[in-house]
């Protein structure tokens, strides 16, 4: 039996030093709507999309490093975002507040870091 049988919903929640700041970044990056609730926030294409990215403030947040280093905080997950034009997508992400990671392991993928340091990948469909 599925965990939820009456609604279709899924999401991922990222910790951040400031949930609202990171939610605003992803709202700009993805051109999604921003939703807030207390100290937490989320973004989604619409209120009834059925999926979202959530953000919660974590006072003891430690920025992960990329590439990994066993002595420093490691990423627990990363987002994969398919794009039509890699150079254009990188420029858009940087304009929204992301930075391009120094280490780039693949030609058709760009590892980016959001303002809280979470890696995310922009990639071209092969």
Domain boundaries, the chain: 1-60, 62-126
Give the fold, CATH level 3, of 62-126.
2,3-Dihydroxybiphenyl 1,2-Dioxygenase; domain 1 (3.10.180)
Give the fold, CATH level 3, of 1-60.
3.30.720
DSSP state of 72: S
What pTM was estimated for this model as a whole?
Answer: 0.86
pLDDT greater than 70 at residue 106: yes
Q: Using CA atoms, how far apart are residues 78 and 109, in angstroms rounded to an integer? A: 13
Span 18-39, average pLDDT: 95
Q: Is 20 left (phi over 0), alpha (psi -120 to 50) or beta?
A: alpha
Q: Using CA atoms, how far apart are residues 20 and 37, in angstroms rounded to an integer? A: 10
pLDDT of residue 2: 55
pLDDT of residue 4: 52
pLDDT of residue 11: 87
Encode pLDDT of 34-60 as tens digits: 999 888 899 999 998 989 999 999 999
| Cβ-contact 24, 31 below 8 angstroms | no
Alpha-carbon distances, residue 108 vs 3, 18, 88, 111 (angstroms): 36, 31, 13, 10
């Amino acid at each position: 039996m599925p965990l939820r049988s009456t609604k279709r919903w899924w999401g991922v929640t990222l910790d951040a030093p400031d949930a609202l700041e990171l939610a605003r970044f992803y709202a700009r990056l993805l051109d999604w709507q921003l939703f807030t609730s207390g100290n937490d926030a989320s973004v989604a294409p619409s209120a009834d999309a059925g999926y979202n990215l959530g953000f919660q403030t974590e006072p003891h947040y430690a920025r992960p490093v990329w590439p990994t280093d066993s002595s420093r905080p490691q990423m627990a997950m990363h987002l994969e975002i398919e794009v039509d034009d890699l150079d254009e997508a990188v420029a858009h992400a940087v304009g929204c507040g992301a930075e391009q990671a120094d280490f780039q392991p693949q030609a058709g993928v760009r590892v980016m870091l959001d303002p809280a340091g979470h890696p995310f990948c922009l990639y071209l469909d092969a």
